[in-house]
Structure 1
Amino acid sequence: MSGSATSRRALLAGWVVTAVAVAAAGCGSPQEAANGDDDASAPLNVGVVYSQSGPLASYGQQYVEGFKAGLAYATGGTGKIGERAVNVSYADDAGDPVKAVAAAKDLIGKGYKVLAGSTASGVALQVAPLAASNKVLFVSGPAATDAITGVNRYTFRSGRQSYQDVQTAKAYLGSGRKVLVLAPDSAFGRSNVDAVTAVIGGAGASVTSIAVPATATDFTPFAGQVKAARPDLVFVAWAGATASALWQSLDQQGVLSSTTVVTGLDIRAAWPVFGKAGAKLHLLAHYFDGAVDNDAVRALRQAVPGGRTDLFHPDGFAAAQMIVHALQAGGSDVEKMVTALEGYGFDSVKGRLTVRAQDHALLQPMFQAKLTGSGAATSATVVATVAPDDAAPPVAAMKG
């Protein structure tokens, strides 16, 4: 879950590829032969290791739906680059870094040179060094930890990072100076604490945090701690099935009525869990259906079940676009793939995305939003859009 004047000026998330016959955008001609010097007839294998099951399975499902749609979009519905088929193998990590590493090692052992996925931050942080040590391309997915940016030259990301979330939230602080971060005791949570400290603390605010065990189900004690701290702004970073209980506790303890509470907008199915809290929240959004309208969005809607896009569909869609571009440039030559992605700009579901060459951060627009209605009728609207440069994290030193 991810500045004031800046944001306001900008006005402000198998093997079979389903073919969606739409024009490719931002990836070059899908019929161009790859520039690699390997067998021109051999398939190009891509391994996707993600949360098919586990606590973030709903996120993983959206990611994969987006990936399949993006692959069809980027290849003009052929599933090929030139005459070479793009074969995708999917593996479930269940949100467990140990399982993710085992699956990634298995794919690498089979000769796969391109990996994607990583729904969870803790998973991405374990797969990234594996990619570097084996010199394979890794495009991380919804994992938001800032530590992925600049972790090594073989690792990229197709989603946003925590710093971009916090930049989007910064405008809500106003003249306040006391900020509290409520987040899980995990890589994701720590990434948010670090980002708030860097972005908002760096602007002069005092930042403290409360780390909640990721397995917690009773949030009353933590809500009480928040209320007692009397912050000017509470930044809540939370994801998963226990979100409803968290918001209920914060509302019951009077936190939402006593201070400004900012959080990220989760997947659509989770909106009703805000309950009465929804209208009281100041929301930052990676993406939601209706936030933008362009060719990529329309293609994605045609491909996903029910025709309604959601939070992490863009991450999968962009990953496929990036991988197709890399394969077009490199074939099976990973070094050429990496070079092709550095500085790559393309039009995707969220709008214009750019891979920053120095550290592989993915520069992208972000959104401020509000919720109206209740239950199944809850809807989101854009309050403002933060331009990619205004949400951009500082350049990170490439570690390897």
Structure 2
Amino acid sequence: MKRALAAFSVAASFAVPAVAQDGDPVKIALIHGMSGSALEAFSKQTQTGFEMGIEYATDGSMAVDGHPIEIIKKDTQFKPDVARAALAEAYADDEVLIAVGATSSGVTTGMLPIAAEYERILIVEPAVADSLTGPDSNRYVFKTSRNSSMDMQAQALALQPDEDLYVATLAEDYAFGRDGIEAFKRALDGTGATVVAEEYAPQGTADFTAVGERLFNALKDKEGRKVILVYWAGGGDAPGKLQSMDPGRFDIELSMGGHILPVLPTYKRFPGLEGAVYYYYEAFDNEINDWLVKEHMDRFGTPPDFFTAGGMASALAVVKALRETPSLDTEDLIATMEGMSWDTPKGEMTFRPEDHQALQSMLHFKIRVDDDVEWAIPEKVRIIEPEEMDIPVGREN
């Protein structure tokens, strides 16, 4: 990888890829972890959704305004140094116009300065952490994925908080988990609800006995509704381990967000559980989602999943930006994308001009168990609209 190229004038050498002539391809890089982590499934879904999104948005031509779209795929191996090198190679050697990635918030954080160095756009999908559009981000970064504040504000709304609610939290000990719990606490401000304890455990934790006992002890003597909020993306079955410790003996209930379909069978242990989630294929009624569900079922025999919809949303943003920009110059693309709204499988999204976070809806669900369905169904209670959530601005332009 030719990182030494960075020593030259980035603005002069790499600001505009060679796509000026009709028929030349517009190159888009998908930079995701495809090996080395349990989160590979998220990346694979994102890639499928992205490819289907380009197909849908171009009516199957895979081209925009005479430019074929060429998708270049690179594996971060879930390592920040590999991700940075892969992104630099995509910009410098492959001459990609836009990159999309990555899966882990921690890995993606390391990619942000590379976008600024090469003065090229990076669309963050599906990494979640608020900090990805925060003070350490930059004007070349746009984010189609939801952020931790959306997760947690929607989660708080789903709990219908008041002064009778006491919550203890469990999250993974890295950017995803800590940003999420901070966002959840902000969402509860002014509601009267109280967070009585916070626990953070390393990714890969398998034994939650001590953590569970501390959470139970923090809640068991409270008079009111007692909830443990679990914000956990990886393995280890944190909610299942807590449930096996019988929180019900203290009138403690669990709450958590939704998950990908392969994980939802485990939610059958939690009938009636309420929470919030980015997407479930049956919950959104629009033409794009109808197409995605039908085509995904026809091609793969399963419904589209959580991150499939996210990958498609990022692809639809790319195609709309390419169609509306006056040129393929990065500055024109930035001007086009700031404030841009576009339709997705979960409704309209809008890039907020101040920090380039895509504002979007969330789903308040209640778990329903149907013996004829292999997974628990996150049945729609209601759609939480973007204007119901007060998402902090992460970075001022």
TM-score clears 0.5: yes
Q: What CA distance in whole angstroms lies between the structure 1 residues aligned with 2:173 and 2:128? A: 15
Q: What CA distance in whole angstroms lies between the structure 2 residues aligned with 1:395 and 1:75? A: 32
1:210 is matched with 199
- Pairwise CA RMSD: 2.1
Alpha carbons 1:326, 1:336 under 8 Å: kept: no
Offset, 1:306: 1.8
- TM-score (ref. length: structure 1): 0.85
1:50 is matched with 32
Match of residue 193, structure 1, among 181, 195, 199: 181
2:258 is matched with 265
Q: What CA distance in whole angstroms lies between the structure 2 residues aligned with 1:336 and 1:325? A: 13
Alpha carbons 1:256, 1:280 under 8 Å: kept: no
Offset, 1:51: 2.3
Counterparts in 2 of 1:4-83, with a 5 A limit? 38-53=20-35, 54-83=37-66
Higher relative contact order (CA 8 A, sep 6+): 1
Match of residue 232, structure 2, among 228, 231, 238: 238
5+ residue gaps, structure 1: 1-35
Offset, 1:86: 0.7
Identity, % of aligned positions: 27
Offset, 1:291: 0.9
5+ residue gaps, structure 2: 1-17
Aligned CA distance change for structure 1 residues 228 and 330 (closer, same or farther; 3 Å) = farther
Please tell me whether Structure 1 or Structure 2 has the larger radius of gyration of its CA atoms.
2
Per-residue CA deviations over 1:289-345 (Å, capped at 9, x if unaligned) read 101121111221244322511111121111111111222315531111111111111
Equivalent AA in structure 1 for residue 236 of structure 2: T
1:332 is matched with 328
Offset, 1:126: 1.2
Alpha carbons 1:182, 1:237 under 8 Å: kept: yes
Match of 1:68, SS?
Answer: helix
Match of 2:334, SS?
Answer: helix
Between stretches 326-335 and 338-347, larger displacement belongs to 326-335
Q: What CA distance in whole angstroms lies between the structure 2 residues aligned with 1:187 and 1:66? A: 25
Between stretches 248-257 and 100-109, larger displacement belongs to 248-257
Match of 2:145, SS?
Answer: coil
Offset, 1:271: 1.1
Alpha carbons 1:179, 1:234 under 8 Å: kept: yes
Match of 1:296, SS?
Answer: helix
Alpha carbons 1:43, 1:87 under 8 Å: kept: yes
- TM-score (ref. length: structure 2): 0.85
Match of 1:383, SS?
Answer: strand
Match of residue 131, structure 2, among 138, 147, 153: 147
2:288 is matched with 296
Q: What CA distance in whole angstroms lies between the structure 1 residues aligned with 2:244 and 2:376? A: 21
Offset, 1:204: 5.0
Match of residue 163, structure 1, among 141, 149, 157: 149
Equivalent AA in structure 1 for residue 281 of structure 2: D
Aligned CA distance change for structure 1 residues 358 and 222 (closer, same or farther; 3 Å) = same
Alpha carbons 2:130, 2:394 under 8 Å: kept: no
Match of 1:316, SS?
Answer: helix
Aligned CA distance change for structure 1 residues 253 and 233 (closer, same or farther; 3 Å) = same
Match of residue 83, structure 2, among 86, 100, 107: 100
Per-residue CA deviations over 1:18-60 (Å, capped at 9, x if unaligned) read xxxxxxxxxxxxxxxxxx9922332111101012222211111
Q: What CA distance in whole angstroms lies between the structure 1 residues aligned with 2:375 and 2:307? A: 21
1:359 is matched with 355
Match of 2:306, SS?
Answer: coil
Match of residue 306, structure 1, among 292, 295, 301: 301
Alpha carbons 1:50, 1:92 under 8 Å: kept: yes
Q: What CA distance in whole angstroms lies between the structure 2 residues aligned with 1:255 and 1:101? A: 43
Alpha carbons 1:44, 1:331 under 8 Å: kept: no
Alpha carbons 1:291, 1:382 under 8 Å: kept: yes
Match of 1:131, SS?
Answer: helix
Aligned CA distance change for structure 1 residues 256 and 148 (closer, same or farther; 3 Å) = farther
Equivalent AA in structure 2 for residue 160 of structure 1: R
2:10 is matched with none
